[in-house]
Structure 1
Amino acid sequence: MHSVNTILQEGSNMSDCCTKGFKWDGEPKGHEMTLSDNAAYVTGSNSEVAILVIHDLFGWTFPNIRLLADAYAEEADATVYVPDFFGGEVLASDILCKDPSEWGPLDLASMTARNSKVIREPEIFACAKALRAQYKHIAAIGFCYGGWAVFRLGAKANNGLVDCISTAHPSWLTKEEIQEVGVPVQILAPEIDPVFSPELKEFSNRVIPSLGVDYDYQYFRGLEHAFAVRGNRANQAEMKGLERAKNAAVYWFKQWLH
């Protein structure tokens, strides 16, 4: 478990890379409801297959994460849930277009401390358990902040709470959490990522194949942390990477959920 000091440090380290990006076009197609005790965005209509999306620092209302959820629902034939795991706290998406010097009173270190593992993990598990009670097949995918959480959900000790996991540019992920994974796991890893560091990449690629689980490691040369959810339409390499990451996750879900 991370100490508060470590969380504060990681919140500071994540600030520059996690708040770079551009809002996409389009309107989400789903609706809002409650999952367990958490507000959630829901899209899709499959009564047997569900995907739990654990959002990044921009939270559950961020249009990009909802548009991704819509794509998963349609292309992977699933009902997709994006619960709020920040207790109603939402970063304004216009920060994407601002320099950090213009963020005003925003304090990411304090925000990440308020949403630490020990605080939010019970809610994340409660949502997964609520889905397990309703659906036959469940996947979990986490972006940035959500990366550690999907590894916890997919741990051997949790006896198949989810059927598979995927994560793009995970944050706060520890070697212990990597070692404990017990379900098929996919990692979407950009080359440039100070949080999912070269050391953690090497550790994952060395250890996970020894754990007796299926493993899909996707490497995105030249791309940066956060590319898989915040794409810059003016940057063709990033947009192609984002589409590839979406397609890879959809293929992964199809393999393990149908």
Structure 2
Amino acid sequence: MAGQQCCDNPPTLSPGAGVGHVEQIGGLSSYVCGPPDSKLAVIFVPDVFGYEAPKLRSFADKVGAAGYYTVVPDFFHGNAYDTKEPIMEWIKGHGPDQGFEAAKPVIETLKSKGVTKIGALGFCWGAKVVVELAKYAYIQAGVLLHPSFVTTEDIQAVKVPISVLGAEIDQMSPPELVKKFEDILNANPEVDGFVKIFKGMTHGWSCRYKDEDASEIRSAEEAHKDALEWLHKHIK
């Protein structure tokens, strides 16, 4: 079952992970790092395992250290996926549409703090949320990492710069689909696009890479670098 690939190599959640702290942003408990007075913000929209995943927070720390006020909201209200039920059953009560609606108050809160530009990184489940935000220009740029549920129609509708970082071995967004995303972006002169498929990588690798796998670590670091470069290009 394709959705099951979302559950491979689940992280051990750690509420205390990362150099940042948790506070309320837009009505959601959120992991926050980076300079709080920055006018540039980045929202991380996690995969189904939520905002307490240590490697996700480590990536957020990198983005915060690069000068962005970085926010990782708990879109699942303490009910992240824990592998005890079928993933698609869990999704029924935690749809990306709900994440899209929950992201709006987060964005408004950031703006009220003086933030002038917002980027968003979406991982798997979170990529669908980010692409919805991009369709209505709630954000100024987005990065989709091994996306789930994203369609060609979604990519056709985006209004802001979009980067898609895909995995070669991915049932949720196979390379054939990601290449279609690339064709659509290349054909749209009004939206800057960047698409890359990471050879040998599987769905979820950028935030769930195996510590004992040097190639996964290298590829994750490369994806992190690509994402940061996209932010530097468009969120400035």
TM-score, structure 2 as length reference: 0.91
Match of 2:98? 119
Does residue 229 of structure 2 align to residue 251 of structure 1?
Answer: yes
Change (3 A) 1:202 1:241: same
What residue is the counterpart of 1:100 in the other structure? Answer: none
CA distance in 1, matches of 2:119, 2:7: 24
Q: Give the structure 1 partner of residue 3 of structure 2.
A: 14
* Matched residue, 1:130: 109
Range 232-241 or range 21-30, more displaced: 21-30
The answer for the alignment partner of 1:230 in structure 2 is 208
Q: In the alignment, does 2:62 pair up with 1:61?
A: no
Offset at residue 241 of structure 1 (A): 0.2
How far apart, CA to CA, are the structure 1 residues paired with 2:51 and 2:158? 25
Distance in 1, matches of 2:11 and 2:99, equals 27
When residues 168 and 233 of structure 1 are mapped into structure 2, their CA distance, relative to the original with a 3 A threshold, is: same
Cα distance in 1 for partners of 2:231, 2:99 equals 25
Which whole-Å CA distance do the structure 2 matches of 1:141 and 1:238 have between them? 19
Q: CA deviation at 1:203?
A: 1.6
| Residue number in structure 1 paired with 2:85 | 106
Aligned to 1:49: 40
Structure 2 residue identity aligned to 1:136: T
Give the Å deviation of 1:23. 5.9
- The letter for the 1-side match of 2:2 is N
CA RMSD of aligned residues (A): 2.1
The count of aligned residue pairs is 232
Residues 34-183 of structure 1 mapped to structure 2, 5 A cutoff = 34-45=24-35, 46-75=37-66, 77-92=67-82, 105-134=84-113, 135-155=115-135, 158=136, 160-183=137-160
Shift of 1:31: 0.6
How far apart, in 2, do the equivalents of 1:117 and 1:252 lie?
A: 23
User: Which amino acid is the alignment partner of residue 229 of structure 2?
Assistant: Y
Could you tell me how far apart the structure 2 residues matched to 1:16 and 1:206 are?
A: 25
| Structure 1: gaps spanning 5 or more residues | 1-11, 93-102
Displacement, 1:234?
1.5
On the 8 A contact 1:24/1:231 being kept in 2, the answer is no
Amino acid at match of 2:233: Q
**Structure 1 residues 178, 131: CA separation in 2 closer, same or farther (over 3 Å shift)?**
same
Counterpart amino acid of 2:3?
Answer: M
SS class of match (1:154): helix
Superposed displacement of residue 119, structure 1: 3.0
Residue 7 of structure 1 is matched in structure 2 by none
| Distance verdict in 2 for CA 1:161–1:120, change over 3 Å | closer
> Cα deviation per residue 1:96-154 (whole Å; 9 max; x = unaligned)?
xxxxxxx5x43322211111133332112222233234301110010000111111111
Letter in 1 for 2:129: A
Q: Classify the secondary structure of the residue corresponding to 2:207.
A: coil
Q: Which has the higher contact order (CA 8 A, sep 6+)?
A: 1
Equivalent residue letter for 1:112: I
The 5 A counterparts of 1:199-238 are: 199-211=176-188, 212-238=190-216
SS in 1 for 2:56: helix
Match of 2:219 in 1: 241
Q: Read off the aligned partner of 2:102 and give its amino acid letter.
A: E
Whether contact under 8 Å (1:49, 1:137) holds in the other structure is yes
Identity value in percent: 26
Rounded to whole Å, the distance in 1 between the matches of 2:11 and 2:215 is 14
Q: Which runs of 5+ in 2 are unaligned?
A: none
* SS of alignment partner, residue 229 of structure 1: helix
